[in-house]
Amino acid sequence: MKFNNLVTITKMQLVLPLMLQLVLLLMLQAVLLLMSQLVLLLMLQLVLLLMFQAVLLLMSQLVLLLMLQLVLLLMLQLVLLLMLQAVLLLMSQLVLLLMLQLVLLLMLQAVLLLMSQLVLLLMLQLVLLLMLQAVLLLMSQLVLLLMLQLVLLLMFQAVLMTQCIEAKMMTLNFDVFVNFVGASPGSVNIVAILRRFCFELTTRFQLPAVGRIEEYM
**pLDDT tens-digit map of 95-105:** 999 999 999 99
Judge whether residue 31 has pLDDT over 90: no
The Cα 165–Cα 171 span in angstroms is 10
Please check the confidence at residue 216 and state whether its pLDDT lies above 50.
no
Nearest to 57 by CA among 49, 72, 45: 49
**pLDDT band per the 50, 70, 90 thresholds, residue 162:** confident
CA distance 204 to 22: 210
Query: Considering the entire predicted model, what is its pTM?
Result: 0.34
- φ/ψ of residue 177, rounded to 5: -95, 120
Given a cut of 70, whether residue 209 has pLDDT beyond it is no
| Predicted confidence (pLDDT) per residue in 36-57, tens digit | 889 999 999 999 999 999 999 9
pLDDT for 102 equals 95
Confidence of residue 7 (pLDDT cuts 50, 70, 90): low
Residue 49 to residue 28: CA distance in whole angstroms: 30
Alpha carbon of 203 to those of 121, 198, 200: distances in Å? 69, 9, 5
With beta carbons less than 8 A apart as the criterion, state whether 180 and 154 touch. yes
Q: With bands split at pLDDT 50, 70 and 90, how would you rate the model's confidence at 3?
A: low
Which string of b and e fits 111-141 if b means at least 16 CB within 10 Å?
eeeeeeeeeeeeeeeeeeeeeeeeeeeeeee
Looking at every residue in the chain, the average pLDDT score rounds to 83
The number of residues making up the chain comes to 217
pLDDT, greater one: 12 or 37: 37
